[in-house]
Structure formats: structure tokens, C-alpha cells
């Protein structure tokens, strides 16, 4: 029998542990700490696919591009996602390889620059809501609207910010390649940042587009299609909680799909934070998945052993 398969989604903010330490060197150190915990999955006998966020890193590229716009061409958003997939895949892959070597484990690791198909007719393109990049004055915002064709919205009195679509992921273009690598017992890093968003043109050819795909939804799609046994969503809290940050806050050790749906309908999991993670977990479990774990990276070992994290089950 094949070894069980785990898909683990780590957040882009997992690679930045301190807002004052955001250099590439700092991110590498953070990746090394995360890799130490991910190695526990490999050591436990799982085949592993790692996905990751890239929000802060894409923001850095966009800011550099903006500052240099009078010297060099600006970088399209789909290329920003591709850039971060390569750079973060390099950091995660190298630090994980080093950690496995320290543990006496020899395992090949590969990063797959991954495209994810979205629908031209997705309503998200008619109503872009995902903020990206820097804040601008109203005058700068008008200039970007005219010169770059961007959509910008005022952000709670802090200035104007570019917003893009966040469409639903439909198909992972490199899925067969990922599957082939797993069959050869390769640890795969893929679907970084939710994947590079691509659409089909009139000829059926793929083209990149300015959008942001939710990382947890794309990771869920991959986990479903690969028929993963375990889906882990790494985040900034030990466990999922109801009445979050209220005197009645209660952490949840175990959550069924029915309970998760009930709490979601009650508004316990906001769209901007835990909501997409819970929705992805429900989707995975309703399509044959056995278990989802939501917890912090440094608690992975305890969570796999059932001693921490929130465990969602059918």
C-alpha cells in the first residue's frame, strides 16, 4: 500500500515571524523553523505536498515595482505570483532538505511553479474586492486608474488601494506533474499563493490575469483531487475558536462538518480570517477527505499526535 498523503498549507505570514524582520535572510530563518515542524510529517511516514501563502512577499514585489516605475516596466500580478512561487519554494525546499538531512532522512524535494485555471465569467471579475500592494493618495489613485487601468478603493481612511478579483479555482494545470512526482516519493511544493491565475482565451490558450486565488481553497482543490488522507491548514492560532476575542471565547478540539457549517452560518468565522479555512475544510471532508487539522506551525508534531490543534472530521 502507498504511504498516506498529507497536504499542508502554510501561510505567507508563517515566513515572517516579526514585522521588524522582513528581509530575505529573516524569511529564510522563518522558513527553516517551519521546515523543522513540516519534517515531522515526513518522519511520520507521510507523502507530503506543501502549499504556501505569499501575500506579504507579493506586496514587496509590487512596492519595488511601483518605486521603480519611472526606470523599469512594472511587474504584472501573475508574474509576481510566479516569482514568489520560485523564491519561497527555494527557501522552503532547501531548509526542509537540510532539516531532513539532520534527521538522517534522504528525500527528494521539488518545487512546481503552478498555474490554476479560473473562469472568465467568474463574478469576482465584475466586483474585485481583494486589496493588494501599497496605499495611495486620491490623486495617485486617479493616475493609476487612468494609466494602468486599475480598480482602486478607499480603505478605511488609510488611503486608496488597488483591488483585484479573487475567483474560484477550477483546475490545477500541473496536477498530473505533481501526481507523478508523488508516485516517485518526492516531497512536492506547489500551488504557492493559491497558484498563478490563468484564464482560457478564445483559442483555448492559457493567459495570466490580474487576480488573487485564495490559498486555502486552491490547496483544498489539490488535496481533493489527489485524494489526500490529511489536509493541514497552518495558521496563527493554536486552535479554532468560537466567540473569538470575547469573554466567552471557547477553543475547539474537535469539529464535525455539521458543527462547522452551523458555526459558519452563525458568523463565528469571518470571511477575512477563519472563514475560508473552515469552508475549505468542509469542502475537503465532503469530498472524501478523512481529517483536517488547523493549528500553528510549531504545534504540528503535537497536532499530528492528536494532542493539539483543532481536528475537523466528517
242: domain CATH number is 3.40.1160.10
pLDDT band with cut points at 50, 70 and 90 for residue 13: low
* Residue 147 forms part of a structural domain: no
Q: Which of the residues 11, 12, 53, 193 is marked catalytic?
A: 12
What's residue 242's pLDDT?
A: 95
Is residue 215 annotated as a catalytic residue, yes or no?
yes
Is 134 a domain residue?
no
124 in a structural domain: no
pLDDT of 15 above 90: no
Going by pLDDT thresholds of 50, 70 and 90, the confidence category of residue 156 is confident
Q: Which of the following is catalytic: 224, 277, 289, 308?
A: 277
Whether 309 shows a pLDDT value over 70: the answer reads: yes
Average confidence (pLDDT) over 233-260 = 94
Structural domain that includes position 296 = 5-112+168-306
The per-residue pLDDT for 2 is 81
Give the distance from CA 238 to its chain's centroid. Answer: 18
153 is known as an active-site residue = no
Residues whose CB is less than 8 angstroms from the CB of residue 184 and which lie 6 or more positions away in sequence, other chains included? 108
Number of domains into which the chain is organized: 1
Q: Is 130 a catalytic residue?
A: yes
The residues, any chain, with a CB within 8 Å of residue 160's CB and separated by 6 or more, are 135, 136, 137, 138, 140, 141, 152, 153, 154
Q: Are 226 and 191 in contact (CB under 8 A)?
A: no
Mean pLDDT for 208-215 is 95
Active site includes 277?
yes
User: Quick check: is 277 in a domain?
Assistant: yes
Q: How much is the pLDDT for 12?
A: 67
Buried b (16+ CB within 10 A) or exposed e, 188-223: bbbbbbbbbbbbeeeeeeeebbbbbbbbbbbbbbbb
Is residue 224 annotated as a catalytic residue, yes or no?
A: no
* Contact status, residue 9 vs residue 51, Cβ threshold 8 Å: yes
Are the beta carbons of 168 and 31 closer than 8 angstroms?
A: no
Task: Please name the residue that has the C-alpha cell 523543522.
Answer: 36
- Catalytically annotated residue among 193, 215, 224, 239: 215
| Cell, residue 287 | 469530498
At 147, is the pLDDT very low, low, confident or very high (cuts 50, 70, 90)? confident
| 128 part of a folded domain | no
**115 bridge partner residues:** 196
The catalytic position among 107, 130, 143, 290 is 130
- Computed over every residue of the chain, the mean pLDDT equals 93
Q: Using CA atoms, how far apart are residues 89 and 114, in angstroms rounded to an integer?
A: 11
Residue 161 lies in a domain: no
Assess contact for 161 and 136: CB atoms under 8 A. yes
Whole-model pTM?
0.93
User: Is 208 within the bounds of a domain?
Assistant: yes
Instruction: Say which residue, 11 or 280, is predicted with more confidence.
Output: 280
Is residue 312 in some structural domain?
no
Amino acid at each position: 500500500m502507498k504511504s498516506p498523503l498529507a497536504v499542508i498549507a502554510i501561510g505567507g505570514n508563517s515566513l515572517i515571524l516579526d514585522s521588524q524582520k522582513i528581509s530575505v535572510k529573516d524569511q529564510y530563518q522563518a522558513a527553516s523553523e517551519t521546515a523543522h515542524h513540516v519534517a515531522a510529517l515526513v518522519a511520520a511516514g507521510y507523502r507530503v505536498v506543501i502549499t504556501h501563502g505569499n501575500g506579504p512577499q507579493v506586496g514587496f514585489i509590487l512596492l519595488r515595482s511601483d518605486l521603480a516605475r519611472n526606470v523599469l516596466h512594472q511587474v504584472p500580478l501573475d508574474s509576481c505570483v510566479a516569482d514568489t512561487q520560485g523564491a519561497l519554494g527555494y527557501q522552503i525546499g532547501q531548509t526542509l532538505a537540510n532539516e531532513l538531512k539532520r534527521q538522517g532522512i534522504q528525500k527528494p524535494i521539488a518545487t512546481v511553479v503552478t498555474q490554476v485555471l479560473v473562469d472568465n465569467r467568474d463574478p469576482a471579475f465584475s466586483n474585485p474586492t481583494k486589496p493588494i500592494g501599497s496605499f495611495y493618495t486620491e490623486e495617485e489613485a486617479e493616475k493609476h486608474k487612468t494609466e494602468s487601468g486599475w480598480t482602486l478603493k478607499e480603505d478605511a481612511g488609510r488611503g486608496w488601494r488597488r483591488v483585484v478579483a479573487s475567483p474560484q479555482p477550477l483546475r490545477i494545470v500541473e496536477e498530473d506533474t505533481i501526481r507523478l512526482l508523488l508516485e516517485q516519493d518526492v516531497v512536492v511544493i506547489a500551488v504557492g499563493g493559491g497558484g498563478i491565475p490563468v484564464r482560457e482565451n478564445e483559442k483555448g490558450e492559457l493567459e495570466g490575469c490580474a487576480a488573487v486565488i485564495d490559498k486555502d481553497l486552491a490547496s483544498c482543490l489539490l488535496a481533493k483531487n489527489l485524494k489526500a488522507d490529511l489536509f493541514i491548514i497552518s495558521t496563527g492560532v493554536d486552535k479554532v475558536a468560537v466567540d473569538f476575542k470575547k469573554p466567552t471565547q471557547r477553543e475547539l478540539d474537535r469539529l464535525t462538518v455539521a458543527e462547522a457549517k452551523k458555526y459558519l452560518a452563525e458568523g463565528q468565522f469571518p470571511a477575512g480570517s477563519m472563514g475560508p479555512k473552515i469552508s475549505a475544510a468542509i469542502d475537503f471532508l465532503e469530498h472524501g477527505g478523512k481529517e483536517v487539522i488547523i493549528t500553528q506551525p510549531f504545534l504540528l508534531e503535537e497536532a499530528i499526535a492528536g494532542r493539539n490543534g483543532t481536528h475537523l472530521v466528517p
